[in-house]
Amino acid sequence: METLSDADIFVKNTAKTVDNLYYPTFHVAAESGWINDPNGLIYINGYYHFFFQHYPYSAEWGPMHWGHVISKDLVHWEHLPIALYPDQDYDRGGCYSGSAVDNNGVFTLIYTGNVWLGAEGDDTHIRQVQCMATSTDGINFIKHGPVLYPPEGIMHFRDPKVWRARDSWWMVVGARPQTNLGEVRLYQSPNLTDWTFVRILDQATTSQEGFMWECPDFFNVNNKDILITSPQGIDAQGYDYRNHFQSGYRCGVWEKDSSYTVQEEFKEIDHGHDFYAPQSFTAADGRRIMVGWMNMWNSTMPTQKQGWAGAFTLPREVNYNEHGRLLCTPITELEQLRSDYNALKPFSLTNMRVGLATQYQEYKISFDLAKSTAERYGFTIGDGAKIFIDSQSKRLVLERLSTDLTLNTERSIPLIACSKINLHIFVDASSIEIFVNDGEYTLTSNFYPSAGNNTVTFYTENGKAVVSSVECWKLANIFSSCSE
C-alpha cells in the first residue's frame, strides 16, 4: 500500500522533467500527472483551498487522489501535499469527486469512495459510497469512512455537494438509476454523518437528457436557485452539445417542502471544447465563484506526452440576469497579474491582416457588427486558433487549428440582434477562455500553437471589419508562496 509521501515525492521528481511548452502560466494545474474535476473549493481560516481529481503517477487517468493548492487571494497559488489517496477498502478504486465545508471550525471533506468490483475501469461492476475526512491544519486529513450508501439497485452514485441552509446540512448526489435516466438525489443531515433521503431533486425524463448526471451543484444567486449538472449521454443537436459530455444548469425555486420547481430549462454553461464538472463556492466577500475542469473526456491531449494533463478554468464570478442566463465573468482579482498595458485606437481593415507586434495574454476586443461588412472577420492566435464573426450564419466562431483532425474543429454561439460584441479573452500557453458581452456566453478550449506562438493577428475576408477598441496586458505566473 502506498503512502502519501510516496505520491508527493513522485510528483515533485516528475515535475522536474515536465516539458513547459504548453504548461499554463496563470491556470491551476498539477505539477505533473493527470487532473480532472475540481473538488472541495472553499474559503476557510483565511485561505482558499482548491482540491482536484489527480493521478500522480501518470499523465493518464488512474485511481484518483485529491491534489491540493491554496491561495490567500484567488490569484497566487501554492501546491500542498496530496490530501487524499485511495488506501481503504471503501475507496481503493479512487477517491472520487466531492466537496468541502466548515463544520463549526472543523475542515471537512465529503467525497465518493469508488471500488471496482471487476476489472479496473469496468463501470458495470462498481460500488460507490459517500465518505468523510477531516483536518485540523488544512493539510493533513483523517478519513472517517462511509457516511452514505447508495440506494438499492444504483451503482453509479457519486460527486456529493454539501452545504448548510435552513438550520441543516444538505447534500446532492448524482445518480444513474436502472432506467438510465440521470437524476440528482437530495439528502439531509443534522451532523454530516447521519443522512436521510429527502427526494429526487430533479431527473431526466427522456434519454436525450442523459443517462447519468455527474457533479451536481446547487446554490442560490440573485434570488434564483441554480442546479448544475454534467449529464452524460446527450446527443449533439445542431450547434449544441458538440462535446463528448456537457455541463449545464437549470434555474428554479427550491420550495419550503424541499422540492425544486424548474423555471428555466437546461442550458449549457460554456460553449467551447473543454469545460466540464464545474463546482462553485462562496468567496470571502459573499460572491459565488465557479471553476471548471479545462479538458474533456476522450479528447486528444498532446500534453500527455509532456508529462501532464488537465487544468482548471479561471475562477469566474457567477450571476443570473433577467434574460434567464447564468453570467460568468473573470474575477476582478486577476487584474493583479497585469503588466505592460497596451491599447489601440479604433481602426478598420478590408481584406487584409494586421498583427500586434507583441504577444499578450489578456485582451479586451470590441467589434462594431453594424458597421462591418465582411463575410468573415476576427483574429488568429498564432497558428493555433481563429476567433471570428461569420456574418452569414450570425455566429461567433472559435476554430481550433491543427493537423490532427480530431482537434481541428469549431465551436460557436449565436449573435442574434447584436450590433456590437465585446470579447474578454485570456490566452495561456495552450488554452483560451473567451467571455462574451459581460459573460452572457463563454467559450473555453485547449489549443496547441507551434512553439508557443500566441501572437494576435486581425483579418477580414471579403469586406470591411470595424474594430472599436483593443486593450491588452501581459500576465504574471500565479504559482508562488502564500506565506507571509
The neighbouring-strand residues paired with 413 are 396
Beta strands in 166-211 (DSSP E): 168-176, 183-189, 196-203
Judge contact between 114 and 128, C-beta under 8 A: yes
Q: Which helix (H) or strand (E) holds 5?
A: helix 4-15
Catalytic residue ranges: 37
Written as one string, the DSSP assignment of 56-86 is TT-SS--S-EEEEEEESSSSSEEEEEEEE--
Report the distance separating Cα 359 and Cα 69, nearest Å.
29
**By C-alpha distance, which of 163, 159, 168 is closest to 194?**
168
The grid cell for 375 is: 463575410
**By C-alpha distance, which of 283, 208, 285 is closest to 248?**
208
**By C-alpha distance, which of 181, 294, 302, 310 is closest to 247?**
294
Please count the CA atoms within 13 angstroms of the CA of 22 that sit on its side-chain side.
21
The grid cell for 395 is: 455566429
> What size, in residues, is the chain?
484
Written as one string, the DSSP assignment of 410-459 is EEEEE-TT-SEEEEEEEE-SSEEEEEETTTTEEEEEE---GGG---EEEE
Q: How many other C-beta atoms can be found within 10 angstroms of the C-beta atom of residue 339? A: 10
Report the distance separating Cα 282 and Cα 280, nearest Å.
7
